[in-house]
């Protein structure tokens, strides 16, 4: 099981210019105080940015991986379905920066700025 499956993250829209994720909050997403753990916002942000960044890569010898993320937690959340939207700020040849906002019922609960780098991957041999 991968991270998206384990946390219940669904990719509902993906393109080179926008990625949308949805996730229903469950007990496993909460800290002991019964509010969402802040790491969840960061996981959603980096996931959305990385998906979008990888869609902007031409060829199959590179992969986009996160190198920096800054997340601002705006409001605590106890329940509901989160919607995360990522859009590119800049898509360069080696670095991409994405802005990400996570909402609950139209109210922003976090904003993030995610930077990814393009990493060469060795071609697999048969």
Q: What is the CA radius of gyration of the chain?
A: 15
CB 38 within 8 A of CB 52: no
Cβ(54)–Cβ(114) below 8 Å? no
Alpha helix segments (H runs only) across the chain: 3-7, 38-55
Q: Enter the DSSP assignment of 52.
A: H
- Cβ atoms of residues 20 and 87 within 8 Å: no
Of the candidates 46, 62, 79, 105, the residue annotated as catalytic is 46
- CA atoms within a 13 Å half-sphere pointing along the CA-CB vector of 77: 29
Active site residue 85: no
Report residue 4 as tokens.
Answer: 């998206």
Q: Enumerate the active-site residues.
A: 46
């Amino acid at each position: 099981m991968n991270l998206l499956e384990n946390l219940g993250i669904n990719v509902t829209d993906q393109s080179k210019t926008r990625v949308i994720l949805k996730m229903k909050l469950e007990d496993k997403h909460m800290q002991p105080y019964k509010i969402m753990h802040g790491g969840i916002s960061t996981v959603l942000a980096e996931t959305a940015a990385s998906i979008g960044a990888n869609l902007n890569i031409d060829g199959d010898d590179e992969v986009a991986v996160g190198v920096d993320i800054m997340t601002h937690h705006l409001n605590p959340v106890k329940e509901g379905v989160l919607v995360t939207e990522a859009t590119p700020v800049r898509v360069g040849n080696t670095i991409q920066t994405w802005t990400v906002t996570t909402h609950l019922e139209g109210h922003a609960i976090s904003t993030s700025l995610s930077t990814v780098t393009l990493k060469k991957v060795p071609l697999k041999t048969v």
